[in-house]
Amino acid sequence: MTPHDTSGPWYRYWAREDDHADVETSTTRPPVAHDDEESAVPEPVTAPIAEREGRYAAATVLAVANQKGGVGKTTTSVSLAASLAELGLRVLLVDFDPQGNASSGLGLRARPGQASVYDVLVDAVPVEQAVVPTSQPGLDLIRATIDLAGAEVELVSAFSREHKLRRALDAARDQYDAIIIDCPPSLGLLTVNAMTAADGVVVPIQCEYFALEGLGALRRNVDLIREQLNPNLEMTGFVLTMLDARTRLSQQVVDEVRSHFGDRVFKARIPRTVRLAEAPGFGQPITQFDPSSRGAMAYRRLAQEVVERLDRRANDQQRDTEQGAVA
């Protein structure tokens, strides 16, 4: 059964779970207008990266991380990156998970002989040799392969092994406004590399019973990396994913997460929908696969919030620079 087969139990399960019936069953992508969601889709910026004027002097690097699997981490990485590109930002998505789901979700799984993030990390291949454009204007990708699974072993004895990715991405910061790293579902050396390279961490949290399980370990890891490897690392925000608005449990999880993390929780909440589940099977981000779907709208709202936080960060840096010059 293919990932987008609509005849089997896989599809029927997701159709039951979907809370507002994005339940079109065609295996070809239909243009859908949904009555229950915002109908106005902002006109996306379609200029290629080379023709875009940079919004920021250098890219902000965001690591999308949660060591708990199945929380929508890769979906969030791909959808957020695509939504930021729609807004006119120059975006680089780094697939840093050996499973390579972000790469296949964009229809760009690496083939033998093509440079991947493994080559950048282990063999010091320049970033520009591993970058490929995607179908979303303004969004580039560095692909991952299963070879990346062996990188943690190969880098054990490497000098300054935690800084490998940071040094590689530093060369590309002035070419992008945002760099999104899709981390593996673990707290190993790959995730440490991602957080050492990052300015901020975005944490997807599934709206289910064990939502907060493991977050304590993740926060301790972030604190440890901030103390020893990357003093500028911030907790950018928490994204509530797979929300089923029909259930009381989802609302309880929302309330509990907000009580723990307050304003660090993004207002945008990502629903559990069939369309989000189908999009990777077609090699497209949800913003292209079904632009007017609830999932696409939710990730666009998330992107707007992220841009607001990036703008504040850029303004703070500009103010600090000006104050330093005066002093």
Of the listed ranges 140-154, 243-257, 291-305, the least confidently predicted one is 243-257
How do residues 182-215 score in pLDDT, each as one tens digit? 999 988 999 999 999 999 999 999 988 787 777 8
Instruction: Please tell me the pTM assigned to this model.
Output: 0.85
Assess whether pLDDT exceeds 60 at residue 3: no
Q: Which domains does the chain have, with CATH numbers?
A: 43-326 (3.40.50.300)
The four Cα atoms 313, 225, 79, 129 give a dihedral, to 10 degrees, of: 100
Confidence band (pLDDT; 50, 70, 90) for 23? very low
Mean pLDDT of the chain: 86
- What pLDDT shows up at residue 59? 95
Assess whether pLDDT exceeds 90 at residue 42: no
Write b or e for each residue in 163-187: b if 16 or more Cβ atoms lie within 10 A of its Cβ, otherwise e. Answer: bbbbebbeebbebbbbbbbbbbbbb
Assess whether pLDDT exceeds 50 at residue 33: no
Give 57 or 103, the one with higher predicted confidence.
Answer: 103
